[in-house]
Structure 1
Amino acid sequence: MTTIYDIAKKTGFSITTVSRALNNYTDVSPKTKKLILEAVEDMHYYPNSVARTLSTKKSWALGIIFVEDLGIGMKHPFFNSVIEGFKKSVEQKGYDLIFLNRYVGGEKMTYLDHALHRGVDGIAVVSSNYDDVEVEKIIGSSLPNVIIDSHTSKSNVVYSDNMRGSELAVDYLYSLGHRNIAHISGHSKTFVGLERLRGFKSAVEKYQLHNSSIAEGGLFSVDGGYQAMKTLLQLENRPTAIFAAGDNLAIGAMKAIKDAGLNVPDDFSIIGFDDIELSGQISPSLTTIKQDMDKIGEQAAELLLQQINHKTDPTISIVPVELIKRETTKAIK
Structure 2
Amino acid sequence: MVTIYDVAKETGYSITTVSRALNNYPDVSDKTKKIILEAVDEMGYFPNSIARSLTMKKSFTLGVIFVEDLGVGMKHPFFSAVIEGFKQRAEKFGYDLVFINRFIGNEKKSYIDHAYYRGVDGIIVVCSNYSDPEVVKLIESPLPSVVLDVHSDKTNVIYSNNVYGCELVIDHLYSLGHKKIAHIAAAEDTFTGNERLKGYKLGMDKYGLPINEDYIVDGGYFSYEGGYHAMNNLLKLDDVPTAVFASGDTMAIGAIKAIKEAGLKVPDDISIVGFDDIDLAQHITPALTTIRQNTELMGKRAADLLIDQINDKDEDFSTVILSVDLIDRESTKSLTD
Q: TM-score range by the shorter chain?
A: 0.7 to 0.9
Most deviating of 104-113 and 83-92? 104-113
Check whether the contact 1:60–1:120 (CA below 8 A) recurs between aligned residues.
Answer: yes
- Aligned-partner Cα distance in 2 for 1:179–1:195: 21
> Is 1:327 paired with 2:333?
no
Q: Which amino acid aligns with 2:331?
A: T
- Aligned-partner Cα distance in 2 for 1:256–1:54: 58
Q: Name 2:41's counterpart in structure 1.
A: none
- Aligned-partner Cα distance in 2 for 1:50–1:155: 29
- Aligned-partner Cα distance in 1 for 2:144–2:50: 18
- Aligned-partner Cα distance in 2 for 1:239–1:218: 20
- CA shift for structure 1 position 51: 8.7
Check whether the contact 2:204–2:211 (CA below 8 A) recurs between aligned residues.
Answer: no
User: Unmatched 5+ residue regions in structure 1?
Assistant: 1-48
- CA shift for structure 1 position 54: 2.9
- Aligned-partner Cα distance in 2 for 1:137–1:321: 30
- Aligned-partner Cα distance in 1 for 2:300–2:50: 28
- Aligned-partner Cα distance in 2 for 1:50–1:94: 12
- CA shift for structure 1 position 220: 1.0
The 3-state SS of whatever aligns with 1:83 is helix
User: Unmatched 5+ residue regions in structure 2?
Assistant: 1-48
- Aligned-partner Cα distance in 2 for 1:124–1:262: 43
Residues 116-166 of structure 1: per-residue CA shift (max 9 Å, x gap): 111111011000112111111111111100001111111100011111111
- Aligned-partner Cα distance in 2 for 1:105–1:266: 55
- Aligned-partner Cα distance in 1 for 2:257–2:53: 54
Q: Which amino acid aligns with 1:146?
A: V
Q: TM-score, normalization: structure 2?
A: 0.82
Q: TM-score, normalization: structure 1?
A: 0.83
Check whether the contact 1:179–1:211 (CA below 8 A) recurs between aligned residues.
Answer: no
- CA shift for structure 1 position 211: 5.6
The 3-state SS of whatever aligns with 1:220 is coil
Check whether the contact 1:273–1:288 (CA below 8 A) recurs between aligned residues.
Answer: yes
The 3-state SS of whatever aligns with 1:137 is helix
Q: Which amino acid aligns with 1:279?
A: A
Q: Name 1:200's counterpart in structure 2.
A: 200
The 3-state SS of whatever aligns with 1:323 is strand
After TM superposition, the structure 1 = structure 2 runs for residues 1-333 of structure 1, keeping only pairs within 5 Å, are 53-210=53-210, 212=212, 213-311=215-313, 312-333=315-336
Check whether the contact 1:64–1:97 (CA below 8 A) recurs between aligned residues.
Answer: yes
Check whether the contact 1:61–1:95 (CA below 8 A) recurs between aligned residues.
Answer: yes
Residues 230-254 of structure 1: per-residue CA shift (max 9 Å, x gap): 1111112211111100011111111
Count of residues in correspondence between the two structures:
285
Pair member with larger Rg: 1
